[in-house]
Chains A and B, each alone.
Chain A
Amino acid sequence: MSELKSSMTDSVMDALGDVKDPEIASVSILDLGMVHEVDVTDDRVRISVLPTFSGCPALHIIERDIKKAIENVEGITSAEVKFVFTPSWTTDRITPEGRERLKEFGISPPPANHVMGEPWEIDCPYCGSTYVTMENIFGPTACRSILYCKSCKNPFEAMKPVADMG
C-alpha cells in the first residue's frame, strides 16, 4: 500500500468513527463492528457494512450518514455503501470501547462469547450488580431487551446476544 493510499484510508476510517448509531448516540458504527471492508481507490471509496438486525429502520440513515461523512473527506469524491450478510454481524464484533460506550448510554453490552441457546449473564450498566431481572427480552429497538436492577433500582436496557448458529 502506498503511503498516500494508507493516509487516505486513515482519514476515511477517522470519518467512519464519527458515524454514530442513530439510536445510540454515543456509539459509532466502528464501535459496533458493523464495518466489514473499506476500499479506497483514487478518489473513490467502497465500503461494505454488516447490518445488525435485518428489519432495523436505522439502516437507511446509517447508509446516508456514511456517504455524507466519507464524501466530506478531502480528496474523496464518491462513496459507495453496500450491505452484506457474510460474515454475519454478531455481537462479539463490538469493540471494547464500544462496550464501554454502550454502558455510558445505559445499555448493558452482550456477553462476548455467547452460544445461541445457552443462558447468558447481564450486569447492571450503572452499578455492575448481577442482581437484575429481565422485564422483556424485546425492547424499544430490535437489538435491545428491557431489564431492572434490584440493587440500584434502575431500569436499564441490554443488547441481545447474537451469535452465529453454525
Chain B
Amino acid sequence: MTQETLKPKEKKALIELLYQLADDDFLLAFRGSEWLGLAPHIEEDVAFSSISQDMMGHANLYYNLLENLEEGEADRIAHLRSPDLFRNAIILEEVNGPGTYLKEPDYDWAFTVVRNYFYAVHKHIRLDSLRHSSYEPLAEAARKIMTEQYYHLMHWEIWFKQLMTSTDEATLRMTAAIQKVWKDFGGVLTLGPYYEDIVKANFIDDENVMKKRWNNKIEAVLKEVGASYPGEPRMERGNGRNGVHTEDLKQATATLSEVYATNPATGW
C-alpha cells in the first residue's frame, strides 16, 4: 500500500497508529534527555543521550510520514498540538521523579531503567511486525529504526538484569519500580480505539499477539533474575491512545515547545 492507494478508513487508522508510534518515542526521548548531566556516571550520560537522540530521530521519521499524509508540517505536529491530541501511552509521559531538570532533580534511576527496558522490549516486537507492514513507507522506516534500536534494547537489558541481581537495596528499588510501571504499562501494549481497522489493513500485527510476545519475554527475564511475574500489566490512569493524559504531558510539551512556540519561523 502507498499513500495513493489508501482508502479513507485505512488512512484514518494509519494516521492514528503513526501518532502512537511517534508520540511514544517523542515523549520517552524527552524524558531521557532530561537526564543529561544527571545520569549515574559519565559513560551512561554519553550512552543515554545518544539513545535519546536516536529516539527523537525515530519520532521525527514518523512525524514525516504524517506530514506526507497531509497532517501538517512535521515540526508543527510535534510542537503545536494540544495535549488531548497526543496518542502516547501515559506511562511514557510521566516525570522522572521529584524536582525538575533545573531545580533539585531527585530522579529515580530504577524507574528509568525499568520503564526504558520494558518499552525497548515492546518497541522491538512492534518494529519486528512493522517491517512487514502493508504500508510500504512505514515498513521502510521500521527497517531503518530497527538497526538502531537493537543497541538500545541491549543497553537497557544489561542495566535491568544487573540491577535486579545486585545489592539488596538495588533489588528493593527495582521491585518498587516494576510495581509502579506495571500499573500503567498496559497503555503501551494497546493500539487504541482504531485497533480493528489498524489490524484489518495489515499495518501491524494484532495487539493481542504482540502483547503475548511481550508478556512471554518479560516473564522469562523476570524468572531469570529471580523475580515473580505480576500478571498482565494494567492501565490504571486511562488510555493515552484515546487522548487521555496527565499534567505531566502538559509540562513536557510546554518545555519542549517553549522555543518553537515563541517564533515558529525561526531556524534553530
Contacts and interface: CB of A to CB of B under 8 A. Distances in A.
A137 B150 contact: no
A57 B54 CA distance: 10
B148 A54 contact: yes
Contacts of B56: 55
A81 to B, nearest CB: 15
B42 to A, nearest CB: 9
Interface residues of A, number: 26
A116 B147 contact: yes
A163 B147 contact: yes
B258 to A, nearest CB: 19
A55 B53 contact: yes
Q: Is the interface of B mostly helix, strand, loop or mixed?
A: helix
A162 to B, nearest CB: 5
Contacts of B116: none
Contact of A139 (B46, B60, B150): B46
Interface in A115-147: 116-117, 135-142, 146
A56 B57 contact: yes
Contact of B154 (A51, A137, A163): A137
A164 B147 contact: yes
B47 A137 contact: yes
Contacts of A137: 47, 151, 154-155
Nearest to A136: B43
Contacts of B154: 137
Interface stretch (B138-146, B160-168, B200-208): B138-146
A84 to B, nearest CB: 8
A53 B54 CA distance: 7
Interface residues of B, number: 26
Nearest to A140: B46
B143 A55 contact: no
A139 B60 CA distance: 21
Contacts of A53: 54, 57, 148
Contact of A164 (B51, B61, B143, B151): B143
Contact of A85 (B50, B51, B143, B155): B143
Nearest to B55: A55
Contacts of A2: none
B58 interface: yes
Contacts of A139: 46, 50
Contacts of A136: 43, 46-47
B146 A165 contact: yes
A160 interface: yes
A54 B61 contact: yes
A138 B47 contact: yes
Given A116-B150, A146-B46, A164-B147, A54 B57 contact: yes
A114 B43 CA distance: 25
Given A55-B53, A142-B148, A85 B60 contact: no
A136 B143 CA distance: 25
Instruction: In the A-B complex, list the 3 residue pairs whose CB atoms are closest, starting with the nearest.
Output: A55-B57, A54-B57, A138-B47
Given A88-B144, A136-B43, 5 more contacts: A135-B43, A137-B154, A141-B50, A142-B54, A142-B148
5 contacts: A53-B148, A54-B57, A55-B57, A56-B57, A88-B147
